[in-house]
Amino acid sequence: MNSTYDLLNSYVRIRRNVRTNPKKRTYLIFNSPFLILNTTMAKALNTSETIIIKRSQINLNPLNPKKHTTEAIKQQKKNFKKVGFLGGVTWNKLTGNLIDGHRRVHALDEHYKYDGTAETDYEVKVEAVAFDEKTEKEQMTYMAVGNTRADYSLVAQYITDIDFSEIG
């Protein structure tokens, strides 16, 4: 086991061997037995904003290409009861339309017995974006048809560790 002194010495040796290429913004750390790093700093990405809104502010998008069965919504509701609502609902604050998360919102509606009235309104954590209508449709389509299919051979490796009836 290395002592604190050895680790500090290694850190100083690493810091002495840092070379910077300002044109590419690439930082290289080399000649270290502990760390070799070559990363390029990328332009920051746009991100959503996590906020809490009232359910009444959400329009279920009539163009949603995902069609959720009653059984799928029932399984989602069952999963909520087990682990809670984990978020991931994408909402366009410019149009009020849901982009992704329709099944989750349907299951929440059933859980809270939402009927569109103020008495049954509830709060929902959403990822808020500000998209024009074209971008909204593109992203809704991407999230519907761009979904990754599960690697069932990988799932088979741990299937005995879980309750398969609980995955929804």
Q: Could you list the pLDDT tens digit for every one of the 168 residues in the chain? A: 455 555 445 544 544 444 444 444 444 444 444 444 445 567 888 889 999 999 999 999 988 888 899 999 999 999 999 999 999 899 999 999 999 999 999 999 999 999 999 999 999 999 999 999 999 999 888 888 776 666 778 778 777 887 766 564
Q: Which of 20-29's residues contact partners 24+ apart within 8 Å by CB, and which partners?
A: none
Cα-Cα end-to-end distance for the chain: 46
Could you give the CA distance from residue 24 to residue 69 in angstroms, rounded to a whole number?
50
What's the pTM? 0.68
